[in-house]
Amino acid sequence: MARFPKPYPAILITFLSVLALGILSACSSPQNTFDTHADAADNILTIYIIVLVAASLVGAAVLVAMAWLLIKFRDRPGAVARQIHGNIKLEIAWTIAPIFVLLIIGIPTMFWVKGTTDEPDADVIEVLATGHQWWFEFEYPGLGPDGESLFTANELRVPVGRQVAVTLESDDVIHSFWVPQLVGKTDMVPGNTNHLQKFTPGSIGSFYGQCAEFCGSAHALMRFRVHVDSLADWSRWVASMNEPPAEPEPGSKEAAGKLAFAGCSGCHTIQGTTAQGKVGPDLTLLGDRSTLAAGIMENTDENLTAWIKDVRSIKPIPDSPRFMPSFTTMPDETIENITAYLRSSKIR
């Protein structure tokens, strides 16, 4: 007589799998969509929970029905198979049930979609975000010198409690703007202007963003940060962005770095100086940024020196006039001086 194996290994594997899932569900990450910090992300999470609950109930109903059928119609002594030609009540039920589920999901979704088209608040912060290979440029219309635009790169700063409206454009290929803890993603398409869903940050802190559309060899290294500040700190940042940087002390490394940086002024801007290049990222107040190289490195002296010396050892950037050249032949002292000068530019 055949003997079936005891079910203990299967039970143990199932238990360990459930335990592992439970442990993993307790983990957190900087891009955890369940840890929301803005109204737009809250709305997305609500829709997600509704869909998840509805799908779980449907799945549970199907599994229960399958279990009941397997038990009721199992092969056993005395059981006689019979043909079933249909059941009107059952067919009506499984026609109505999906409609009911779709209404549960669809009605809140329609209200959410409608809400994305609401008029902005009177004090909305407007930002134009432009995707480049491979970095993000942020423009604040009307907040720059003499009512012009204020520019920064790779780190978007906004005040807590104020609505933010981001317009999206691309300078080259399709990119996508995504900050999971604040707002859903929207594509940045060349020749087309898109609008990110308006959002109001509810917490002070730094939130991770990234390009979410494959855009070339350095796509995975195209990241950014959204820093949500108090209104006072954000206003101080705006004011500092409009002021000329403090003059370096004569004879210092910073002063030598300022002279050496003149060769970079054709591509980069530092507000209030003769450096007004528009090819690469704006470097005003670089010393106060938390990251370098589009969010992939901490802003330290060592990292900035390495980035200036040879960007291609850090990012797979083509050797083309469109992109920053490597300066492997430049004396280390000169690069260190430029680093000192750029890192000295901070909020006052």
Q: How confident is the model at residue 202 (pLDDT cuts 50, 70, 90)?
A: very high
Among candidate residues 177, 230, 236, the one with its CA nearest the CA of residue 205:
230
Determine how many CB atoms are found less than 10 A away from the CB of residue 230: 12
Sorted by where each begins, the domain ranges of the chain are 125-241, 253-343
Mean pLDDT of 193-199: 94
Tokens linked to 165: 């409206």
Does residue 16 or residue 195 have the better pLDDT?
195
Tell me the fold of 253-343.
Immunoglobulin-like (2.60.40)
Checking if the pLDDT of 46 tops 80, the result is yes
What does pLDDT average to over the chain? 89
Checking if the pLDDT of 18 tops 80, the result is no
Tokens linked to 181: 């803890």
Checking if the pLDDT of 6 tops 70, the result is no
Each residue of 55-78: pLDDT tens digit?
999 999 989 989 988 888 888 888
Q: How confident is the model at residue 7 (pLDDT cuts 50, 70, 90)?
A: low
What is the dotted CATH code of the domain comprising 125-241? 2.60.40.420
Q: Contact, 213 vs 187, CB < 8 A?
A: yes
Q: Contact, 238 vs 288, CB < 8 A?
A: no
What single DSSP character describes residue 262? G
Taking the whole predicted model, whether its pTM rises above 0.75 is answered as: yes
Angle of the 301-309 helix axis to the 332-343 helix axis, nearest 10: 130
